[in-house]
Amino acid sequence: MAVRDGVVAWLGDDSVGRAQFPDADSVDLDGAFVAPAFVDSHVHLTATGLQLTGLDLSAATSREQCLRVIADHVAANPGQPVWGHGWDDSLWPGGQTLTTADIDAVAGQHPAYLSRIDVHSAVASTALRNRVSGLLAVAGFDPQLPLSAQAHHLVRAEARRLLTARQRDDARRAALDAAAAAGIVAVHECAGPQIGGVEDWNELRCTDDGVEVVGYWGEAVSTADQARALIETTGARGLAGDLFVDGALGSHTAWLLDPYADAAGCRGNTYLDTDAIAAHLFACTEAGITAGFHVIGDGAVTAVVDALEQTVERFGVPAVARCGHRLEHLEMVSAQQAAHLGEWGITASVQPMFDAVWGGDDGMYASRLGTHRAATLNPFAPLASAGVRLALGSDSPVTAMDPWAWVRAASHHQTPGSAISVRAAFGAATRGAWRAGGIRDGVTGTLVPGAPASYAVWDTADLDVSAPADSVARWSTDPRSRVPALPNLDPDRPLPRCRRSVHRGVVLHG
């Protein structure tokens, strides 16, 4: 492969290349594997970096261990406010969650904010709660249990105010470096008023670290003029991303049609109703702007599909499809809804690690929903075969920016029939992700002459052409069919290790 001015100039046989480019600098790959670099279609960079540079609770295997890690952090950082992330009580024995009293016992007088793994609820110390006026009166408040909904947003905003500009900047750079080291050269930052706020997003826009940051802004509008103005002031690629229709299953805040199996009468939360969703879609479609939503539960998905149907009736399929509207997570979608979304040109921005971590008969999804409903979650193969375009991502810090792990999870789905092939998953984490971000030139995310030279170099064992065992092969595995090989991602194999990542000809890592 020859690269000139950040673009793939030529591709072919080694001897021909050397003859054609005699003066070129050449890199001996020593048997390494080169592939288009990855894109992460859903991240939160500052929160990711705060976990990388600070208090990471994701490895805690019990409530007691989690509290010990927090206590050690407090002892090592005396006098500092505490920002931590990643505890997951669904994986702990005993099923006991964290309480305000637990946190006060280890954090003392320090304001402490500790988000649950899904970032849809958090425990907060009394010292932090006391800084927020009116907290007791809003939705999602509880004196002892983790805060959700508006109460969570208020304590999160207050905890954010306690971070210094230096802490935020260090965090962002750590997150971008981690992306580059994982073979990721572009990320879709899902920003919004309740996530990091406008200050965080504006600081991130000014952070030049090599990894390309495409921003989505999650704020609802109701007129085309409002949509245009918000795109103008934020510089976002769309009014999409984490515009919350609902919450998450782990926090019992995903909006369900039927109650949770483990919380009598609870159907989760509704943050945007069908009318508000339709108003946002009308406004964005009229302005030709990408709209989108965070949508997980079947109640939320139904509201979004109904609102999209109204949008199609009003503007027609071509106008809707042109906007490239996208749905984040889209975990509980029926075959009929998938067929509509495919017809309307909608992209599903999905996180395969959700199934790897929470799927299966014994997983968190099965406890929340029962095994029957849980087995319908994250139906990647049915979505793809309905024509819904997939883009893969991590929702980091919810799951890691570890793209081969996503590809493995998507191709080894815990529900038979929901897996896609390694090749399809790889495409959804490269070309498909660029397309989800509005790049529709047909070459970005591939390595052909004329494409941006955005690639990663991997140390990997054997390459092969594989298809999921539980479905018909979607292409020939005969070598003569010229289907390119990819790393073998069987669960017992080590994942490829990134040696170098390059974006538009510029080395970002290695």
**Least distance (Å) from Zn ion to the CB of residue 294?**
6
Angle at 80 between CA 76 and CA 85, to 5 degrees: 80
Q: What is the largest CA-CA distance in the chain?
A: 74
Residue 189 is a binding residue for Zn ion (CB under 5 A): no
The two beta strands, 486-487 and 497-503, are: unpaired
**Least distance (Å) from Zn ion to the CB of residue 470?**
29
Nearest alpha-carbon partner for 409 in 428, 422, 396:
422
Residue number with CB closer to Zn ion (187 or 386): 187
Beta carbons of 476 and 65 less than 8 angstroms apart: no
The contact mask relative to Zn ion for 281-320 (x = CB under 5 A, - = no) is ----------------------------------------
Other CB atoms closer than 10 Å to residue 137's CB: what's the count?
9
Angle at 321 between CA 7 and CA 292, to 5 degrees: 90
**Least distance (Å) from Zn ion to the CB of residue 119?**
7
**Least distance (Å) from Zn ion to the CB of residue 375?**
24
- The stretch near Zn ion (CB under 5 A) out of 189-197, 255-263, 282-290, 384-392 is 189-197
Beta carbons of 215 and 205 less than 8 angstroms apart: yes
Residue number with CB closer to Zn ion (244 or 344): 244
- The stretch near Zn ion (CB under 5 A) out of 141-149, 275-283, 387-395, 499-507 is 387-395
How many residues lie near Zn ion (CB under 5 A)? 3
**Least distance (Å) from Zn ion to the CB of residue 281?**
20
Nearest alpha-carbon partner for 41 in 231, 221, 237, 297:
237
Residue number with CB closer to Zn ion (397 or 496): 397
**Least distance (Å) from Zn ion to the CB of residue 246?**
12
Q: Which residues contact 399 (CB under 8 A, 6 or more apart)?
A: 351, 353, 354, 357
Residue number with CB closer to Zn ion (43 or 338): 43
Is the N-terminal amide bond of 397 cis, ω within 30° of 0?
Answer: yes
- The stretch near Zn ion (CB under 5 A) out of 151-159, 190-198, 315-323, 476-484 is 190-198
Strands (E), 22-102: 33-36, 38-43, 55-56, 82-87
Q: How far apart are CA 342 and CA 425, in angstroms?
A: 17
Residue 395 is a binding residue for Zn ion (CB under 5 A): yes
The contact mask relative to Zn ion for 460-499 (x = CB under 5 A, - = no) is ----------------------------------------
- The stretch near Zn ion (CB under 5 A) out of 187-195, 317-325, 341-349, 419-427 is 187-195
Residue number with CB closer to Zn ion (190 or 428): 190
- For residue 321, the one-letter residue type is A
- The stretch near Zn ion (CB under 5 A) out of 89-97, 393-401, 408-416, 435-443 is 393-401
**Least distance (Å) from Zn ion to the CB of residue 75?**
32
* Torsion angle, alpha carbons of 32, 33, 34, 40, to 10: -120
Which tokens go with 393? 């991502």
Residue number with CB closer to Zn ion (216 or 380): 216
**Least distance (Å) from Zn ion to the CB of residue 332?**
17
**Least distance (Å) from Zn ion to the CB of residue 44?**
6
Beta carbons of 204 and 48 less than 8 angstroms apart: no
- The DSSP symbol for 347 reads E
Residue number with CB closer to Zn ion (395 or 402): 395
Nearest alpha-carbon partner for 123 in 150, 110, 142, 96:
142
Q: How far apart are CA 41 and CA 394, in angstroms?
A: 7
Q: How far apart are CA 305 and CA 340, in angstroms?
A: 8
- The stretch near Zn ion (CB under 5 A) out of 27-35, 183-191, 445-453, 470-478 is 183-191
**Least distance (Å) from Zn ion to the CB of residue 487?**
28
Residue 158 is a binding residue for Zn ion (CB under 5 A): no
Residue 242 is a binding residue for Zn ion (CB under 5 A): yes
Beta carbons of 12 and 319 less than 8 angstroms apart: no
Residue number with CB closer to Zn ion (40 or 158): 40
List the strands of the sheet with 212-217, edge to edge: 38-43, 184-191, 212-217, 238-239, 290-295, 326-329, 347-350, 389-392
**Interaction with Zn ion in 13-72: which residues (CB under 5 A)?**
none
Residue number with CB closer to Zn ion (35 or 147): 147
Residue number with CB closer to Zn ion (218 or 487): 218
Q: Which residues bind Zn ion (CB under 5 A)?
A: 190, 242, 395
